Structure 1
Amino acid sequence: MKVEVQESIRKASQKPLPSSINELVEKNQDYSMYPFHSIGDDQVFKGYSSLADWICSQKTVLIDGYAGTLWNNIAAALEKEFKKRNLEVNWVKTADYLKPDTDIDRLVDPFLGTPDSVWGTKTTLILEDFFQLETLSAQQPDQKTAINIGIGTGAALLNWEAPIIYFDLPKNEVKYRMRGGSVSNLGKTGLANEEQMYKRFYFVDWVVLNRHKQNIKDQITAIADGQILPEPNWAMFGAIKNGLHKLSTSVFRALPWFEAGAWGGQWLKQHISELNQEEVNYAWSFELITPENGLVFESNGHLLEISFDFLMFQENEAVLGKHAEQFKFEFPIRFDFLDTFDGGNLSIQCHPSLKYIQEQFGETITQDETYYILDCKEDAGVYIGFQEDIQPEVFKAELEHSFNSGEEVGIEKYVQKLPAHQHDFFLIPNGTVHSAGTNNLVLEISATPYIFTFKMYDWVRPDLNGNPRPINIEHAFNNLNFERKGEKVREELVSKPKLLSSGADWEIIHLPTHPDHFYDVERLEFSTTIDVKTENLCHVLMLVEGDGLAIETADGTTAAFHFAETFVVPAAANSYKLINKGNNKAKVIKAFLKTKD
């Protein structure tokens, strides 16, 4: 078998997670790209040799894992280790028992929308639907062979009485491998174009595999990080579960990742030295978009990333507190950056209503957003709401003409542009026309859904590959709220800060969100320290002004965070102290879910 090397399988400017803390940049950082959580000594192990030794002690194992895992690499590397030990292996590969491509295409097609659509509908399929299940189930261990291994996505479906080793893979790495042409969709032997593969991953593969992951979580014995090549790090899952429990009662930071875009800017490159400075721009930072973020654990210097899903599957009640029953295993709040510094305007856009996103796309919550201006230049602005004299049919006709002719639209005839200043807070409930103008660094505090952007006008520009960006005028006009216009925009869509409480050297400022938002925002301003109670709510926080801070949670956990780093205090932490580590006043944004009482 051919063993792929890291450089040949992925297309990305961002490097994969280092396998060891020794590979991290050793200098004073103003932003950590690779936050990790230590779980004690001798809990994370390196490489196939140690994994093979453990498999030898078990004799029969199932190696399951996520989409995009390089199963041929894993089997070839383990086979090499077993040959060193003069052991014969009986391999049962789940890929041999998938249904034919054409059958799987027919299964998934109802969930993919039209070929020219960006969106589909979240599938109701389960992983078993992709296999010739009766034939797969008939495969049993060979009692005459020293080692028996069932391997591949869905290996747990073999139902052997054997421990499961799960190879996890972060979704951004799946994307990079997809772009590199090394992986395809579940049950697909050929490659489609990038947009079609991503749509199928989002609406089918990831949904099916997350259900499977949740179903087998209590059967997993060991877990490995499938992104690290050529030698993966791995751990006993019990140690990881203990680590997850610790995070659910204290504080944690997810692993961020970054993406270029047509309108992207230069602020992130200039302020985060570890980013690839040769990338043309960075439009987004996935600070906390939990369907695609991971959590990193460390032991003996070895790093291992697992998906955020595992935390929610195990600890959703501790994390979400009062709202665990409402949101189940979904983490409902999203933090990300939109960087337009020396870049371009975002598209003129809106997001779907709750009913629309549920009926059309199978989501449970909708994409209600807010823009917190973390930094900006003097000429920065935000497009939000309509002009008082808006005529929807005239606006639509001009948008359609622009789409068909390539002519520019004088967008401010229809949409208001308000000046933006540092710490301004703009409210964007679903149905609101909006866009971030150039020369902003926007902290987007939003509900978790993140791909349902209906673009009406994109400044007649291509994407980074020179291709037209999708325009969705019909979807947008099915959702636009034309009552958000004129003076109402400043009254209802620009948050008015209010002092909630204060002490000797601290204040808590309420930044009210719109009634349609299910989350709220406060800003904690303090010179030395401030004590905060969670009141059984999850808090998502970021230092938005200041040089650095430390946190102490009620269980004695301590951590430190830099400017612009996102961190989470779960509901079960009960209380925490924030400590200003700089000379100037610290300002910390705190987002949390609203309660009815």
Structure 2
Amino acid sequence: MAYDLYPKIDIKGGIDLYIGYDEILQSIDNEIKRRKANVITIECYPGTFEKEIMDNLITRLKPDLIIHSDEFFLTSEEITAKIQYHLTDDRVFGVMSNHSFYDFIDREKFDKIVEKINKNKDKRIIIYGVGASLVTPSDLLLYTNLARWEIQLRFREKLICNWKADNWEEETLRKVKRAYYFEWRIADKLKNSLFDKIDFMLDVNKEHQPKMISGHHYQIALSQVVKRPFRLVPYFDSGVWGGNWMQEKFNVAKDKINLAWCFDCVPEENSIYLGINGTKFEIPASDVVYQHPVSLLGEKVYGRYGTSFPIRFDYLDTMDGDNLSLQVHPKVEYAQETFGLHYTQDESYYIMEAEEDAVVYLGVKKGIRKQDLVDALKKAQEEGKRFPDEDFIYRKKVKKHDHYSIPAGTIHCSGKNSVVLEISSTPNRFTFKLWDWERVDLDGKPRPIHLNHGEKNIDISRDEDWIEREASNQIVKIAEGDGWIEEKTGLHIREPIETRRHWFSTEVIHETHGSVNVLTLIEGEEIIVTSIDGSFEPFVIHYGETFIVPESIKRYKISPHGPSTGRTVGTIKAFIR
């Protein structure tokens, strides 16, 4: 079998699933009658198509009074002014918000809404929208749930604007920035406070195709997810430097101009398909992290990172494409002081495929002065001329299965004609582009360059000697047995992630090392993951697929399977040291 584009986690037990507005309406109406419910709240995650909910659900419930949450919040202009410090004027970067929805309530409007509800408490009232659950304890609480990748697609298509922003025509970069630094923060904070109060959870990721389960059944489903290995739903995206390897290898999106990225394990943005009665119920993967952080991450990782999933796997495909932008990530103190992050984007490049001319740009050449480098970058940017990378940047030929560490502060980019499995810490919007090879993006606009941030984070000591000594193929054999070898491949001592590579033609026993594990099959067609104590069903993985093993599993087995039986295969595993 080939790479599974639509992996699902089959949920056991009698889960009642309602599909389409007719079934959902009937179920809600029955529950209203059973409870003699008057106040029905529909809390909407930002990005929900609220008009669709109004037309197909709310009006058909025939309420006596409808209240939209916008009625008790500050105006769009007042909210934008209040969060301007977090938005900044930059197209890409902001500062993490620690607000909650309560900070944006207009108290006078709010009190009038509460008074109106109290006067009509014997009638059927529906309160809906973002923040609707703040008004009053409801008799029935519904929640419309969707993943961040779907929200970003809706931004691109100009189908939605940001919450209380009225910015329909604003460029996607700025919409996503406002969501990332502000509204997703406060929306998730509210959602986390509501999990045990939600009566019905709705999947509204597909327009006019809603699905619904009870809040109780939702909790049962989430608890099953963290008792077994699982995959997230991958998403693919095109880019100005993208290639065609993934399109061919994974048989996906062949109608696109190219594929630059595959995000196979970014729980903050990916979704999960719960298999319920043969149907896929789509949820944000972050819900699992929020509700079961210890079982998933482990005590050690939860204690250090909270409910932030700290490991990210994604693909960068430049096969028959172009170089990535020359870039650098912020050092941890800069990330904390400037953006309000707890940790930074340390990363590594694992080379999955490489043509003869494939290279990585990594660090600087010996003897380079930082000011000379910065001056040359500024001159190229200001005058629109080519940056002479060959004079400043160390370029290294790469081959399949090389592994390069890239701790924050190291200048880097992948060159054309390679496929990189990027293994990194999770903060995923903190790339400072230094040079973009004199090109514009797919939308015809120049891609943002951030020399102002970049020059403050470039570590000029990361020269070619340092790269060879500290960051290139630091392979150490850890253990071996009959038919298997375990190697430590990195990452650098400054980075919190440990990576282990296994080559094996027979069964291998893995430890979680007190941390959630993330693995990819890097060589071979198929493997099978099995439980040592029978606590989960065997789980088949195909070439290129990334999967998560919750820390609570502790020990598990992986063997070659199907067409790979008896052959040597390879996995790369990441965990927090």
Question: SS at the partner of 2:117?
Answer: coil
- Alignment partner, residue 531 of structure 1: 509
- Alignment partner, residue 417 of structure 1: 395
Call closer, same or farther: CA 1:237–1:408 in 2, change over 3 Å. same
The 2-side partners of 1:415 and 1:487 are apart by 12
- Alignment partner, residue 125 of structure 1: 99
- Give yes or no for the alignment of 1:443 onto 2:421: yes
Call closer, same or farther: CA 1:88–1:395 in 2, change over 3 Å. closer
The one of 544, 562, 565 aligned to 1:564: 544
- Alignment partner, residue 271 of structure 1: 249
- Alignment partner, residue 45 of structure 1: 18
Call closer, same or farther: CA 1:80–1:137 in 2, change over 3 Å. closer
- Alignment partner, residue 148 of structure 1: 125
Aligned-pair identity in percent equals: 29
- Alignment partner, residue 94 of structure 1: 69
- Alignment partner, residue 86 of structure 2: 111
Cα offsets for 1:445-478 (capped at 9, x unmatched): 0000111111111101100011111111121110
- Alignment partner, residue 171 of structure 1: 148
- Alignment partner, residue 19 of structure 1: none
Cα offsets for 1:206-226 (capped at 9, x unmatched): 111111111212211211111
Deviates more, 1:418-427 or 1:235-244: 235-244
Would you say the 8 A contact 2:484–2:503 is kept in 1? Answer: yes
- Alignment partner, residue 493 of structure 2: 515
The one of 546, 549, 555 aligned to 2:524: 546
- Give yes or no for the alignment of 1:333 onto 2:311: yes
The one of 227, 234, 245 aligned to 1:249: 227
The 2-side partners of 1:383 and 1:189 are apart by 42
Runs of 4+ in 1 over 4 A off after TM superposition: none
The one of 317, 324, 333 aligned to 1:355: 333
The one of 441, 452, 472 aligned to 1:474: 452
TM-score normalised per structure 1? 0.91
Would you say the 8 A contact 1:511–1:523 is kept in 2? Answer: yes
Cα offsets for 1:74-93 (capped at 9, x unmatched): 111014644xxxx5443221
Note the 1:5-44 alignment, pairs <5 A: 28=1, 30-40=2-12, 41-44=14-17
- Alignment partner, residue 68 of structure 1: 47
Would you say the 8 A contact 2:201–2:213 is kept in 1? Answer: yes
Structure 1 residue 138: Cα displacement: 3.7
- Alignment partner, residue 577 of structure 1: 557
For these two proteins, the number of residue pairs brought into alignment is: 559
Note the 1:153-552 alignment, pairs <5 A: 153-191=130-168, 192-273=170-251, 275-321=252-298, 322-552=300-530
Cα offsets for 1:153-177 (capped at 9, x unmatched): 1111022232321111111111111
Call closer, same or farther: CA 1:39–1:139 in 2, change over 3 Å. farther
Structure 1 counterpart of 2:21, which letter?
Answer: Y
- Alignment partner, residue 20 of structure 1: none
The one of 551, 555, 571 aligned to 1:588: 571
Would you say the 8 A contact 1:532–1:575 is kept in 2? Answer: yes
Structure 1 counterpart of 2:316, which letter?
Answer: L
Call closer, same or farther: CA 1:536–1:186 in 2, change over 3 Å. same
TM-score normalised per structure 2? 0.94
RMSD between superposed Cα atoms in Å: 1.6
Call closer, same or farther: CA 1:150–1:469 in 2, change over 3 Å. same
- Alignment partner, residue 21 of structure 1: none
Structure 1 residue 189: Cα displacement: 2.5
Structure 2 counterpart of 1:36, which letter?
Answer: K
Structure 1 residue 44: Cα displacement: 2.4
The 2-side partners of 1:166 and 1:155 are apart by 10
Structure 1 counterpart of 2:235, which letter?
Answer: W
Question: SS at the partner of 1:140?
Answer: helix
Structure 2 counterpart of 1:423, which letter?
Answer: H
Would you say the 8 A contact 1:44–1:298 is kept in 2? Answer: no
Structure 2 counterpart of 1:52, which letter?
Answer: L
Would you say the 8 A contact 1:168–1:306 is kept in 2? Answer: yes
The 2-side partners of 1:475 and 1:88 are apart by 53
Structure 1 counterpart of 2:6, which letter?
Answer: Y
Would you say the 8 A contact 2:296–2:550 is kept in 1? Answer: yes
Deviates more, 1:55-64 or 1:406-415: 55-64
Deviates more, 1:315-324 or 1:513-522: 315-324
The 1-side partners of 2:101 and 2:459 are apart by 40
Question: SS at the partner of 1:509?
Answer: strand
Structure 1 residue 592: Cα displacement: 0.5
Structure 2 counterpart of 1:55, which letter?
Answer: I
Would you say the 8 A contact 2:386–2:438 is kept in 1? Answer: yes
Cα offsets for 1:18-72 (capped at 9, x unmatched): xxxxxxxxxx4x1111111111354322012222222222234211121110111
Call closer, same or farther: CA 1:310–1:137 in 2, change over 3 Å. farther
Would you say the 8 A contact 1:55–1:61 is kept in 2? Answer: no
- Alignment partner, residue 55 of structure 1: 28
Structure 1 residue 529: Cα displacement: 1.4
Deviates more, 1:356-365 or 1:53-62: 53-62
The 1-side partners of 2:402 and 2:347 are apart by 14
- Give yes or no for the alignment of 1:78 onto 2:50: no
Structure 1 residue 335: Cα displacement: 0.3
The 2-side partners of 1:564 and 1:462 are apart by 30
Structure 1 counterpart of 2:144, which letter?
Answer: F
Cα offsets for 1:195-240 (capped at 9, x unmatched): 2211111111111111111121221121111112213011112222
Structure 2 counterpart of 1:157, which letter?
Answer: L
The 1-side partners of 2:209 and 2:367 are apart by 63
Structure 2 counterpart of 1:105, which letter?
Answer: T
The 2-side partners of 1:508 and 1:287 are apart by 24
The 1-side partners of 2:114 and 2:540 are apart by 50
Structure 1 counterpart of 2:542, which letter?
Answer: H
Question: SS at the partner of 2:280?
Answer: strand
The 2-side partners of 1:81 and 1:529 are apart by 57
Structure 1 counterpart of 2:77, which letter?
Answer: T
Deviates more, 1:177-186 or 1:453-462: 177-186
Question: SS at the partner of 2:459?
Answer: coil
The 1-side partners of 2:91 and 2:26 are apart by 48
Would you say the 8 A contact 1:523–1:589 is kept in 2? Answer: yes
Would you say the 8 A contact 2:231–2:548 is kept in 1? Answer: yes
The 1-side partners of 2:64 and 2:5 are apart by 40
Structure 2 counterpart of 1:66, which letter?
Answer: Y
